[in-house]
Structure 1
Amino acid sequence: MVKEKINRLLLPSIILYRSIAICCMAILIVVQAKLIYNTYELKNRQYNLDEKELINDAYKQAIRNEVLFPGGAKILKQHIDNNLVKFQELYTNGPKEFEAFQKQVSEELYKDLTRYSTMDSLFRAIHTQLALTNDLQFLLILNNIAITFDGISYIPIYHKGVFGDAPVNIREVSQGMLIDGDLSFANRENLVTSISISDPSPNTLQVSFSLYVDQYNRQIAILKQMVPTLSLSLMSIAFVLLIYYFTYRNWLKQKKLADMKSDFLNSITHEFNTPISAILVANKSLQNPDIITNYTRVNTLTGIIKRQTDRLQTLVNQALDITSMSKENIEKESHDLEKLLEEIINDYELKTPEKVQIRYTAFTSGSIVLLNRFLFTTMLYNIFDNALKYNNAAIKNITVITDWKERHLTVSIKDNGIGMAESTISHIFEKFYRGKHNLQTGGLGLGLFYVKQSLEAHGWRLHLQSQIGVGSEFCIFIPYHTNNTGL
């Protein structure tokens, strides 16, 4: 009861500590991600900065007195300058006709600019001239065209959206009309130059265009540059996670160990107090002058003292002897397994109540086994005790069977007890462990731990099957040898 209250008090603290640790870890990851993102953005802005300056200078030199590319000014003059009079007439007299003619001229201009573009050869020449080693791609974009009739206000001829939401056979991006190039995207990081040409005189035009240059695998190249930063960041997060994991796991182990010690102390206090109390009561009774002269009463009381003393000795030995048990220091002798089991079961039946039935069936005979009789007997007694202790059936049944399986001699002990869940089975052989159940049973939590130690000392193995409400089966596998020296 006290332990349950303590656990209820500790549970909110455990949840709080776990939540704080998870929040701190999440904050650390977010901060690291933000730092990595900022580093990426910084490298992205600075990437190929020197090359962009060189390309910018070479491009501007190549298109001096030109627009877009060598020969571009002539195409613009043909479509825009030669139609200035008509643009002015339509703009003054018919807005709808002006918009239709504006779209028509923009489409024809786009076709001629893309058809006669010399930007590809110009870019290759710049690439060769500057001895650029990177595999660069470019994108030439016409941003807008406007005309002025008075040299003050400009009327747009081409701008993004002039062709509608879904222009046919027109390549456009958010920056404008694509004239030439195969770069997959244009942004401020790969912008080399943005040029605007205008003349503040009547009947002139204004043209804006941009050149974008970048590597086709820019993101991969930047990430490669960031490998040291990424590695250190991921390693730091991994180390913190590992430290948290091992710290939390060790804390759980310490808590579990503390719980086990608490259970052990509670159990051993109860187990030791019972025989001690009986001895004290019997001793006090023996001090009574009326009882000391009664031989029958004295004999009864001394018998109580003897039994309780034996019980105390058994508890002490059980708590101490298991620490020195190993393969090297146990003495083994050859025994007829079937006869030995029969003797052990007969002796055990003498101390069991009437509502207990133990059935023994041997499908083997004459099996000579090399074992320590005391350890083997105590191991079986512990399994039998558990079968009866954790059993609320009206008639408690224990079935013992010997057989051959997988070239092993097997001893199976099956009961009709309350059974165990998988979570209990995984811990049942641990020292001081006692399963969570509603039965009020005594003990130190050492019985099945003793069974495990005995099995390991003999070099045997155990298979446990259990089902809640049905019962449990302990199957001991004893290796078979053909050298006539025993199993």
Structure 2
Amino acid sequence: MKKIRLTPLLLHKVISLISLAILVSVQANLIYNTYELKNKQYRLDEKSLIDHAYQAAIRNEKLYPGGRKIIDSLVQQNMGIFEELYFTNPKQFERFQHQICRELFIKLRKSSTMDTLFNSIKQQNNLPDDLTYLLTLNALSITFDGVSYISLYQQEQAYHFLPTEITEIKEGIVIDGKLSTINKENLTTSLSISTPTPKSYQITFSLFVDHKYRQGQVLRQMIPTLSLSLSSIIFVLLIYYFTYRNWLKQKKLAEMKSDFLNSITHEFNTPLTAILVANKSLQNKEIVANGKNILSLTAVIQRQTDRLQALINQALDITTMSIETIEKSEYELNKLLEEIINDYKLKTTEKVYIEFLHAPLPSPVPLNRFLLTTMLYNIFDNAIKYNEAEIKRIKVITASNDTHVTITVKDNGVGMSKKMTTAIFEKFYRGKNNQRTGGLGLGLFYVKQSLEIHGWSLNVWSKEGEGSEFCIFIPVST
């Protein structure tokens, strides 16, 4: 199982996400509790007013005006039959119980005056028109001795005798009303009426009243709370964002310092190696015996010393150079390339063959010599470093057309996959073929910087096992 390395960046992200999750959960819990509180307290005065008016309207009634008469006609008047069957024939009692309940529920629904009563309560108390209700019968039982009650109907019990036109919900039999959402928050009245005398009955019923769009209205009341909560989350996210961005800036500054030191180390090696080789050659009596060799070697030392001086003066500015501020001079490109290649040959100790094929070029090319030299040296270094051939070959070709001058560098190295060619210019990138070699992965990143500073472009072609080709396009000045 692969271990996940907890870097500072990853640790920062993990802590930020955990903190954000805690904040969001706390805010969500706060909003939920606020919603529940407002939902419970939603128009309590309105609910109390309806409860009072409803109970006053049915003070001597059951369910609604006229309901008591219906119940008495079917339950109270058949009390004698209920008592006789209960003690003599339990099965017949059950059948009679079901028959009476069916008739009672159907008649209560058909004869309901609850719509009239509820509309009257709304008008008399100036209540909103969107109020709706549901009236349910919760339980019905009878008593023969005034003490013990026998259930004829009880909510939340399965009754198979109920006809299809009767609607039964968890709260009981629906007598009237169209309120679809039933809960304890919109329970307005719950009554249980009985007469503690022999041969009487007990009935329990409930009235639920609510607005059609209660949840939306409660949420509208919560807009200030929701706004504050959302604002606090956004504010914290902004703090995280700016903190994270500033942290990345500081990290980038630290990386730039590290890159500077790495680049200096990387770039100083090339001219120093050429100077050391030329100096060692000057110590060879056979070589210095020929005066021409001395002039050639001292010229190399002079050029590489100038390069070191330029490196000191210009490397510090590499990150701030731009196409507008770069210092350029005009050079005969073929002549300059020949000097660069000859200087590079001095530092190679392996079997390396560099071939230069040049075509006639138009007017001198404006460029920064230091950057071009560094760019080509980095490409040459890679051509040798990632090459397993016995004789490592590099071919440099110049050409031109109406729009561009091109410098093509071909090698017979190990080559790269297509995916790899798109990543090699990233800072510190080192592909799978590069792990066995040294280096910091800065060479081609430097090439990319130099190209951008000049306003040039580059195409890379490569195939694994067949080498690579870098083609630099230099626009022709008009």
Using the size of structure 2 for normalisation, the TM-score is: 0.78
Distance in 2 separating the partners of 1:248 and 1:212: 54
Gap runs ≥5 in structure 1:
1-7, 481-485
Q: 1:28 to 1:324 in 2, by over 3 A?
A: closer
**AA matched with 1:238:** I
Which whole-Å deviations, capped at 9, do the CAs of 1:365-388 have from their partners, x for residues lacking one? 976687336367437525633542
Which whole-Å deviations, capped at 9, do the CAs of 1:376-403 have from their partners, x for residues lacking one? 7437525633542552242455575768
Q: Map 1:190-209; keep pairs closer than 5 Å.
A: 190-209=186-205
Range that drifts further, 168-177 or 11-20 = 11-20
- Is 1:126 aligned to residue 126 of structure 2? no
Which whole-Å deviations, capped at 9, do the CAs of 1:446-475 have from their partners, x for residues lacking one? 7644643553454x5556677777766656
Distance in 1 separating the partners of 2:395 and 2:163: 88
Q: 1:104 to 1:66 in 2, by over 3 A?
A: same
Which whole-Å deviations, capped at 9, do the CAs of 1:183-213 have from their partners, x for residues lacking one? 1121111111111111111111111111111
Distance in 2 separating the partners of 1:260 and 1:435: 19
- 1:79/1:105 contact within 8 Å kept: yes
- 2:361/2:405 contact within 8 Å kept: no
- 2:372/2:450 contact within 8 Å kept: no
- Is 1:32 aligned to residue 27 of structure 2? yes
Q: 2:179 aligns with which of 170, 178, 183?
A: 183
Q: 1:182 to 1:110 in 2, by over 3 A?
A: same
Match of 1:24, SS state, is helix
Q: Which residue number corresponds to residue 5 of structure 1?
A: none
Match of 1:197, SS state, is strand
**AA matched with 2:226:** L
- Is 1:372 aligned to residue 342 of structure 2? no
Q: 1:476 to 1:195 in 2, by over 3 A?
A: farther
**AA matched with 1:66:** E
Match of 2:148, SS state, is coil
Query: 1:228: how far off?
Result: 2.1
Match of 1:144, SS state, is strand
Q: 2:147 aligns with which of 127, 133, 152?
A: 152
- 1:267/1:444 contact within 8 Å kept: no
| Aligned residue-pair number | 461
- Is 1:91 aligned to residue 86 of structure 2? yes
**AA matched with 2:449:** K
Which whole-Å deviations, capped at 9, do the CAs of 1:211-258 have from their partners, x for residues lacking one? 111112211221122122122212222332332244334434534543
Q: 1:414 to 1:457 in 2, by over 3 A?
A: closer
Q: Map 1:29-428; keep pairs closer than 5 Å.
A: 29-160=24-155, 161-164=157-160, 168-255=164-251, 257-259=253-255, 261-262=257-258, 264-265=260-261, 268-269=264-265, 309=305, 312-313=308-309, 315-322=311-318, 325-330=321-326, 342-350=334-342, 351-352=344-345, 355-356=352-353, 371-372=366-367, 374=369, 377-378=372-373, 381-382=376-377, 384-385=379-380, 387-388=382-383, 391-394=386-389, 395-397=392-394, 409=404, 411=406, 413=408, 415=410, 418-419=415-416, 428=425
Match of 1:66, SS state, is coil
**AA matched with 2:146:** G
Which whole-Å deviations, capped at 9, do the CAs of 1:242-277 have from their partners, x for residues lacking one? 322443344345345435534543564576589879
Distance in 2 separating the partners of 1:470 and 1:260: 36
Range that drifts further, 178-187 or 269-278 = 269-278
Query: 1:105: how far off?
Result: 1.6
- 2:138/2:205 contact within 8 Å kept: yes
Which whole-Å deviations, capped at 9, do the CAs of 1:148-184 have from their partners, x for residues lacking one? 1111111111112251499744311111111111111
Q: 1:210 to 1:13 in 2, by over 3 A?
A: same
Query: 1:79: how far off?
Result: 1.6
**AA matched with 2:167:** R
Range that drifts further, 43-52 or 249-258 = 249-258
Gap runs ≥5 in structure 2:
none
Distance in 1 separating the partners of 2:38 and 2:256: 56
- 1:268/1:443 contact within 8 Å kept: no
Q: Which residue number corresponds to residue 445 of structure 1?
A: 442
Distance in 2 separating the partners of 1:479 and 1:279: 34
**AA matched with 1:20:** I
- 1:382/1:447 contact within 8 Å kept: no
Distance in 2 separating the partners of 1:471 and 1:29: 55
| Cα-Cα RMSD | 4.6
- 2:425/2:448 contact within 8 Å kept: no
- 1:103/1:162 contact within 8 Å kept: no
- 1:137/1:183 contact within 8 Å kept: yes
**AA matched with 2:376:** Y
**AA matched with 1:96:** K
Distance in 2 separating the partners of 1:165 and 1:478: 95
Distance in 2 separating the partners of 1:423 and 1:258: 27
Q: Percent identity over the alignment?
A: 45
Q: Map 1:464-475; keep pairs closer than 5 Å.
A: none
Range that drifts further, 121-130 or 38-47 = 121-130
Q: 1:215 to 1:250 in 2, by over 3 A?
A: same
Query: 1:96: how far off?
Result: 2.7
Match of 1:145, SS state, is strand
Match of 1:371, SS state, is strand
Range that drifts further, 407-416 or 118-127 = 407-416
Q: 1:247 to 1:60 in 2, by over 3 A?
A: same
Distance in 1 separating the partners of 2:356 and 2:164: 92
**AA matched with 1:438:** Q
Q: 1:74 to 1:408 in 2, by over 3 A?
A: farther
Match of 1:45, SS state, is helix
